[in-house]
Amino acid sequence: MAAVDSFQLLYWQIARTCNVYADALAVLGAWYVAKKSIRFVCDFYSMVRLHFIPRLVSRRYLLKHYGKWAMVTGAADGIGKAYAEELARQGIDLILISHDQNKLEAMATAITEKFNIEVFIIEADFTKGRETYQPIQEALKDKEIGILVNSVDVPTDYPQFFLNVSEDKLWELINVNIAATNMMIRIVLPGMVQRKKGAIVNISSGYCCKPTPQMATYSSTKVYLDHFSRALHCEYAPKGIFVQSLLPFSITTKGARHSDGLHFFSWLAPSANVYVRHAISTLGISNRTPGYWMHSIQFLFAQYIPEWLWIWGATLMNNRLSKRATHKL
């Protein structure tokens, strides 16, 4: 009986000790869940406040706040073209930059006739590097640019491993996706600082939030743009300059090189025009945003899921896209 009593006493002591630890772990777990839940609710509320309330504001807000001239790079297609049309709808005069002179001329004519604004075009090939920027700087000498939209972009042909990407393609990605944004800001920012007002929009990508296999260089250029934009905003917001990092996910465009199937769901992959109508309403309000309400939900969940799950899903999707693209070649 003594042995039994000793065992029961030992059992009770162990159980009591375990209960203390269990209670502590329960409190810690409850605190963690509450913290994450509150943060999620706050992020969701911020998303609703950002994407729906600003669209009620007058369309002439940007013209009054930043001035009469806006410049858009990569203006002949996709998001750049949509931004040019939306800015023109708000009565802002435009400077459009692209490597395609014919598209620029046709676009300038159409916008001038439709919106009765002044449009100035510049043909420039950003893949050529430093020699591109001196003519642009001279052409902009007398222009007071209030808004700069850096939309020029070299996309990937399709997902592929790093060593399968040509050296020429790598230089294009660096010269266009990174260098062009830096140099265009370098050209227009001094005037904005002098006037103590201005807005810069850099098109990054929602896929920059976690590593994306088979898109290593492309997605990394978008990570650079996101970090660069956020740091630049910290530097120049006190001087009256608003720098926005725009983080779109899939967008349906005529020039898309490949499709991930999301074009069947317009609410997941909106057209460039629909996307920009939402994104432009966030300018001056949020310095880092996916720009479109559904993309904000995607970005919110992407931030909370484990990195291994993101990589697993991206690998499956990119393998499928790569096989589909290679079969077509």
CA atoms within 13 A on the CB side of 137: 14
Let me know if 218 is a catalytic residue.
yes
As to burial, measured by CB atoms within 10 angstroms (0-12 exposed, 13-18 middle, 19+ buried), residue 103 is middle
For 214, list phi and psi in degrees, rounded to 5. Answer: 70, 10
User: What is the rounded (10 degree) CA torsion for 173, 103, 281, 113?
Assistant: 170
Q: Minimal CA–CA distance to 111: which of 144, 139, 80, 137?
A: 80
Farthest CA pair distance, the chain: 102
Residues 6+ apart with CB under 8 A from 215: 156, 159, 207, 314, 318
The amino acid present at 59, given as its one-letter code, is R
Q: How many CB atoms lie within 10 A of CB 246?
A: 32
State how far the Cα of 79 lies from the Cα of 149, in Å rounded to an integer: 10
Catalytic residue among 66, 158, 207, 218: 218
- The two three-digit tokens of residue 26, written as one number: 């329960």
DSSP-assigned letters across all residues of 35-90? HHHHHHHHHHHHHHHHHTSGGGS-TTHHHHHH-SEEEEESTTSHHHHHHHHHHHHT
State how far the Cα of 229 lies from the Cα of 245, in Å rounded to an integer: 6
Residue 120 β-bridge partners? 95
Give the active site residues.
Answer: 218
